[in-house]
Amino acid sequence: YALLKRVPVEYHERKVNKLLGTLGALSGAISAAIIAALLLSLPLSEGVNERARNSPLTNRLAGYTADLETKLRPVFQDAITQTLNLLTIEPESNERYDLPFTVSSSRPRPDLEARMLELVNNERRAAGLRPLTMDPELVEVARKHSDDMFKRGYFAHVSPEGESVGDRISAANIRFLTAGENLALAPTLQIAHSGLMNSPGHRDNILHSQFGRVGIGIMDGGIRGLMVTQNFRN
């Protein structure tokens, strides 16, 4: 501080000096966002990951990097999209991603499922569409698929036995004319939702005018993140 007082005022007011100060602040913000993203993506201790996931600041900063990664993806891309904090797969794709881990004891998160329904319906209202109704039977179908992917270490719309979302819904004796499915694996709910909305195929499902009911199944895998399955039907 004493050294700064000796610097003439006109030097502080010069545009170059202000620009350098702005660049320094920007560099610091980028570094903070990267650190936040790493805190959420790395399998650290349960306590550290939980605190990071519950931190509004960490979520906000990591969300910026997730949005940027998603928007910078090439227009022509593979069905599976993986960023530092997000894994998705295009709706109706038969591709499968083998997870480098399994989670044998994930737990359902009805609180996050309800919050995701709010986020989805906010998007639909903004688009002039009627809100979706949560379907308890579809929720169970969605949770089972999220849990199955965690337990068997895969990420796909089609199970290892070849069952599609339509097969899973039919097996639960749920009648439907049209159905769809979105999948996401992310450390936080907001990153999962933003990632789906930034993907044309997933956004089309969320904003599909023929869908009236949804089952959102979110299984919490601790340090492995949230496995999100959205099942839609008419």
Q: Are 132 and 122 in contact (CB under 8 A)?
A: no
Burial of 206 (0-12, 13-18, 19+ CB in 10 A): buried
pLDDT at 29: 44
Q: Is residue 19 part of a domain?
A: no
- Note whether residue 8 is domain-resident: no
Query: What is the model's pLDDT at position 87?
Result: 95
- The answer to whether residue 7 sits within a structural domain is no
At residue 82, the pLDDT reads 80
In a domain, 71, yes or no: no
Assess if residue 70 is contained within a domain. Answer: no
Residue 66 falls within a domain, yes or no? no
pLDDT confidence of residue 187: 94
Q: What is the pLDDT of residue 97?
A: 96
pLDDT of residue 76: 38
Does the residue 22 lie in any domain?
Answer: no
Residue 232 is predicted with a pLDDT of 99
CATH number at residue 162: 3.40.33.10
Residue 62 belongs to some domain of the structure: no
| Domain limits for position 177 | 78-233
Cα distance between residue 230 and residue 206, in whole Å: 9
Series of mean pLDDT values for 10-residue runs along the chain (234 residues): 50 50 46 47 55 58 52 54 88 95 98 99 98 99 99 98 98 97 97 95 98 99 97 98
Per-residue model confidence (pLDDT) at position 35: 47
Pairing of strands 133-134, 213-220: parallel
For the chain, what is the domain count? 1
User: Is residue 194 exposed (0-12), middle (13-18) or buried (19+ Cβ within 10 Å)?
Assistant: buried
